Structure 1
Amino acid sequence: MNQRARRLLLILILLLTGCGQTAQRHVQLPNAGDGKGIIHIYSARHYNADRAIYDAFENKTGIKVVEVKGTAEELVQRMKREAAETEAVADLFVAVDGGVLQHAKEADVLQPIDSEEIVRQVPVRLRDSEGYWVGIASRARVIAYAKDRVKPEQLSTYEALTGERWRGKVLVRSSGSPYNQSLLASFIALNGEQAAENWARGIVKNLAREPSGGDRDQIQAIAKGIGDVALVNTYYLGQMLTSGDPEEAEAIKQVGIYYPNQQTNGTHLNISGIGLAKHSPNKKAAISLIAFIVSKEGQSLLAQKSFEFPVHAEAEIPEFMREWGEFRPQELDFALLSQFHQQATEMMRRAGWK
């Protein structure tokens, strides 16, 4: 090879190397070589959809994601204990309620998430004003109704379910459900204590049966004719529709959903969210995982697996979720759900809501 040919070959190699380095600079996610190769998530969510997202992140980065499951209170206490013993393990905290996320913030187990990329992807109303947590999904608590016995025009508000028309026809899960506790807490914030307690008493008076089971059980009870209306989270309908269980598929055919309070203060909306642990030993990778979860790719995967509403505006959702239609949500600071949580629990106890 002559000198000119060698010079051209060297230039070509340098150009190719430069292109490769430029491409690498555009990759936002770290890899296992960027520090510790494990992220520990303390999670009060128990959905298979989450594992699918973590697996996708692992495949992209080589960073292993380990879930530690428990109730939100157990996990917060564990994070406090580990911090006191200087053996911090948790990198991220995940919960299924805005009030719980606020509680974790107040318990001083979180730190602000410093990432413009994350802020751009999550609407302001779905994240903490000081950056301690961001929403990763939302769910509406709607009225499910029997299509053959109830006309949509007979429905209007949560408050109307306490009327004479619905005597012996209302289905709900127990007062121990955080979904019902947060719903009532939102009523305290929006309507005042007396109105909220009157609502709880009115629901108990109109129950078709003693509260039992989860939201799926309420939907199946409608299909069996036990009651005509129920309070449920939207994503359970998607889970039943795709479960492969013939009984659940048949029940879904008989049930419609209604977004209440569209002419007043909106349908109750709650969130699942994620916060950065105050003493995260792998902070950089943890923030990158949050960024992936709230990205279009992560949110599309979440919506198609859990059937919750995504926080990313461009996320792809299943067609049947589009058929649920759009709605106006409550305009409420999620921090208030924490503030009124205990009060709501006491109200339900006084009302006889088992």
Structure 2
Amino acid sequence: MLGACAKTGDNPASASAPQASAGAGEVNLYTTREPALVQPLLDAFTADTGIKVNTVLLKDGLTERLAAEGERSPADVLMTVDTGRLLDVVEAGHTQAVKSQVLEAAIPAHLRSPEGQWFALSLRDRVVYADKDLDLSGFTYEDLADPKWKGRVCIRSGQHPYNTSLFAAMIAHDGAEKTEAWLRGVKANLARKAAGGDRDVARDILAGICDIGVANAYYVGRMKNAEEGSEQRSWGDAIQVVRPVFASAADTGTHVNISGAAVARHAPNHDNAVKLLEYLVSDSSQSLYARANYEYPVKPGVALDPVVASFGQMKVDPLPLAEVVANRKLASELVDKVGFDN
């Protein structure tokens, strides 16, 4: 049986690795996701299949842990958030290809590895929060640099993975030179220093510090469903969600990041690992993602949480996520070059 948690900052090389179990009724999950967000899905999987899920929470150091364990690693499924972090694990050689008609039918091609090395399980759309009284129909990401928004935009650090992913997508669509100019324009429009978290954008809109900001949509579900009279509820009630698209792309959509998973390279319970991934893209699991986490289902046609449904249907940017990830380093360099966080 696996240990329950590996704490942030643990030395992976010195961490005692759990003994691998090849029992037909188990699967070993290494995850960076908050336990409360995934446990309902894992409990449902066990109830439906009889397969026990042994979970190790790794807030940091997933790649290092796998490298230290090597071939003796008991990990079957690797689950994380952020496309870049997931592909870092893949590129380090810690995953294996999976061929599954169930996964291929459920997940659009641009949201999974062509070789079956990784799969998106839910979507985190990067949207605009706006004062609830503003009319922002037809808004684009490029509009954030329009001088009419000078002193009216809020955003967290440009070096946060949520933002470097968006900026990397902008590079893929518009090129580095135009993206640099766009970043300078967005910085010129900031109402305050690029800092804090996504929910702080809603807080500052309510406070009148800014009128619009960039954040992930799923936080709005948490805020609007917070306790009546709480601060977070007031933040959520003060804003509307607008899903921008890329103005320069002929076939365009809203930028998304993901939660995703892969089968570990040395998975001792390979078949159960694939069963878990397939279960997580079933209609029931995708609906649970939407209700419990307010994330957007990766599988088309799944019922949405009412708050998420109120944002309207989303067309996802069809740009392959691997192309976005390829531009992460350049995006980070541009953030520093323009002094975005200064």
Task: Name the TM tier (shorter chain).
Answer: 0.7 to 0.9
Q: Is the 8 A contact 1:138 1:271 kept in 2?
A: yes
* Amino acid corresponding to residue 166 of structure 1 in structure 2: W
Instruction: Tell me, yes or no, if structure 1 residue 63 matches structure 2 residue 51.
Output: yes
**Does the 8 A contact of 1:47 with 1:306 survive in 2?**
no
Alignment CA distance shift 1:42-1:100 (3 Å): same
The CA distance in 1 between the partners of 2:294 and 2:151, in whole Å, is: 31
**Structure 1 residues 69 and 204 mapped into 2: Cα distance closer, same or farther (>3 Å)?**
farther
Shift in alpha-carbon separation, 1:328–1:238, aligned structure 2, 3 A: same
For 1:79, the equivalent position in structure 2 comes to 66
Residue 173 (1) aligns with residue 160 (2):
no
Whether the 8 Å contact between 2:224 and 2:307 is mirrored in structure 1 is no
Please report how far the alpha carbon of residue 307 of structure 1 lies from its aligned counterpart in structure 2 after TM superposition. 0.9
Taking only aligned residues, the RMSD between alpha carbons, in angstroms, comes to: 2.0
Matching residue's letter, 1:67: T
Using a 3 Å threshold, how does the CA distance of structure 1 residues 328 and 175 change in structure 2: closer, same or farther?
A: same
String of CA shifts for 1:155-176, please: whole Å, max 9, x gaps: 6222221122111111111123
**Segments ≥4 residues shifted beyond 3 Å:** none
The residue correspondences of 1:88-237 to structure 2 (distance < 5 A) are 88-148=73-133, 150-153=134-137, 156-237=139-220
**TM-score of the aligned structures, taking structure 1 as reference length:** 0.84
* Residue among 320, 325, 328 paired with 1:338: 325
- Deviations 1:216-237 (CA, angstroms, capped at 9, x unpaired): 1111111111111110111111
Structure 2-normalised TM-score?
0.87
Query: Do the aligned residues in 1 keep the contact of 2:153 with 2:211 (CA within 8 Å)?
Result: yes
Q: Return closer, same or farther for 1:327/1:301 CA change in 2, 3 Å cut-off.
A: closer
What is the match of residue 258 of structure 1? Answer: 242
Report the Cα distance in structure 2 between the residues aligned to 1:41 and 1:243, rounded to whole angstroms.
30
2:329 aligns to what SS in structure 1?
helix
The CA distance in 1 between the partners of 2:150 and 2:35, in whole Å, is: 35
Contact 2:202 2:238 in 1 (8 A): no
Number of equivalent positions? 317
Q: Is 1:49–2:40 an aligned residue pair?
A: no
**Separation (CA, whole Å) in 2 of partners of 1:327 and 1:114:** 28
Q: 1:195 and 1:114 mapped to 2: Cα distance?
A: 39
Residue 34 of structure 1: how far off its partner (Å): 8.5
Query: Greater shift after overlay, 138-147 or 309-318?
Result: 309-318
Taking the TM superposition and a 5 Å limit, the aligned residue runs for 1:299-314 are 299-314=286-301
Give the unaligned 5+ runs of structure 2.
1-20
1:1-16 correspondence to structure 2 within 5 Å: none
1:261 offset after TM fit, Å? 2.6
Verify the 8 A CA contact 2:27 2:51 in the aligned structure 1: yes
Gaps of 5+ in 1: 1-32
Q: In structure 1, what residue type is equivalent to 2:239?
A: V
More helix by share: 1
| Matched residue type, 1:303 | A
Instruction: Tell me if the contact between 2:174 and 2:248 (Cα under 8 Å) persists in the aligned partners.
Output: no
